[in-house]
């Protein structure tokens, strides 16, 4: 299979559901948000924005920009806490309800993100996901809360790293198929580790990601993912519990 061939796809059910964070579970990009929160000069802000755009379009290796962006931003502990609150404030509709439904079906639900773990954990808690199901990049601070650095060994700060993390999740439950939902180039790179990759365009629609994915979602509502992640029998099972009623209605096209 060449690099531009469409990904393979197998229908549900899946045992492990993996979600990207930025522009998938929430409506913002953490790096952009930190840029807005931070007190940094215009030229550096523009440099961060340009690096992010090129990295997300797949034009630059992630490791070439990851550390540089954080070095420009140097996010304090307070800035990362504020980012966590922004993640929750911009959470897409029906995230909590979708997670509750997937848990009710006995699925493992994970977030795999190149974002900053302390901020992603705030969104995860809002979605009722445990910290052990969150895979993201650790950032360290001094005792005053000033930025010290990030975990340079994290695979999620490198191109192709998401693929490795999703492969590991697949290995942890070899009998369960994996579905992966994301909007960006690093999500697409991880697609071959999953039995289904859903290109999510509910926040930002990236043509290069949509071009290779066989399954797409364009609605800014996580309920719309349900029919793409669950089998008809699983949807019927959910319909038996009125607690999932509003989610199932929102899932209708
Ligand atoms: Mg994303």
Q: Known catalytic residues?
A: 20, 22
Whole-prediction pTM:
0.94
**Residue ranges covered by each domain of the chain:** 16-251
What does the pLDDT read at residue 5? 75
Contact 109, 249 (CB under 8 A): no
Distance 19 CA to ligand 1 centre (A): 9
The yes/no answer on whether domain 16-251 falls in CATH 1.10.760.10 is no
Distance 234 CA to ligand 1 centre (A): 27
For residue 217, give the 3-state DSSP assignment. Answer: strand
What mean pLDDT is predicted for residues 79-99?
Answer: 97
Give buried/exposed letters for 122-159 (b at 16+ CB in 10 A, else e): bbbebbebeeebbbbbebebeeeeebeebeeebbbbbb
Rounded distance between C-alpha atoms, residue 84 and residue 30, angstroms: 9
With pLDDT > 70 as the criterion, what percentage of the chain qualifies? Answer: 96
What does the pLDDT read at residue 39? 62
Write the pLDDT tens digit of every residue in 191-246: 999 999 999 999 999 999 999 999 999 999 999 999 999 999 999 999 999 999 99
Distance 218 CA to ligand 1 centre (A): 14
What does the pLDDT read at residue 38? 66
Q: List Cα–Cα distances, 194 to 113, 154, 185, 213, in angstroms.
A: 16, 21, 15, 12
């Amino acid at each position: 299979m060449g690099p531009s061939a469409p990904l393979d796809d197998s229908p549900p059910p899946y045992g492990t559901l993996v979600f990207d964070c930025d522009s998938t579970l929430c409506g913002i990009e953490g790096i952009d948000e930190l840029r807005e929160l931070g007190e940094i000069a215009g030229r550096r802000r523009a440099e961060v924005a340009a690096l992010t755009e090129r990295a997300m379009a797949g034009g630059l290796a992630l490791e070439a920009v990851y550390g540089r962006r954080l070095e420009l931003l140097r996010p304090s502990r307070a800035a990362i806490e504020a980012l966590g609150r922004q993640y929750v404030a911009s959470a897409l509709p029906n995230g909590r309800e979708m997670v509750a439904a997937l848990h009710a079906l006995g699925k493992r639900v994970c977030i795999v993100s190149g974002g900053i773990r302390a901020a992603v954990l705030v969104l995860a808690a809002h979605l009722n996901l445990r910290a052990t199901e969150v895979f993201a990049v650790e950032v360290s601070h001094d005792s005053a809360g000033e930025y010290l650095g990030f975990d340079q060994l994290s695979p999620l700060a490198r191109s192709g790293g998401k693929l490795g993390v999703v492969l590991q999740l697949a290995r942890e439950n070899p009998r369960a198929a994996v579905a992966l939902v994301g909007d960006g180039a690093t999500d697409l790179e991880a697609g071959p580790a999953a039995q289904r990759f859903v290109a999510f365009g509910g926040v930002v629609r990236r043509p290069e990601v949509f071009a290779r994915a066989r399954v797409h979602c364009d609605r800014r509502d996580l309920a719309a993912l349900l029919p793409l992640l669950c089998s008809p029998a699983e949807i019927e099972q959910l319909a038996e519990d009125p607690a999932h009623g509003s989610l199932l209605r929102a899932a209708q096209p």
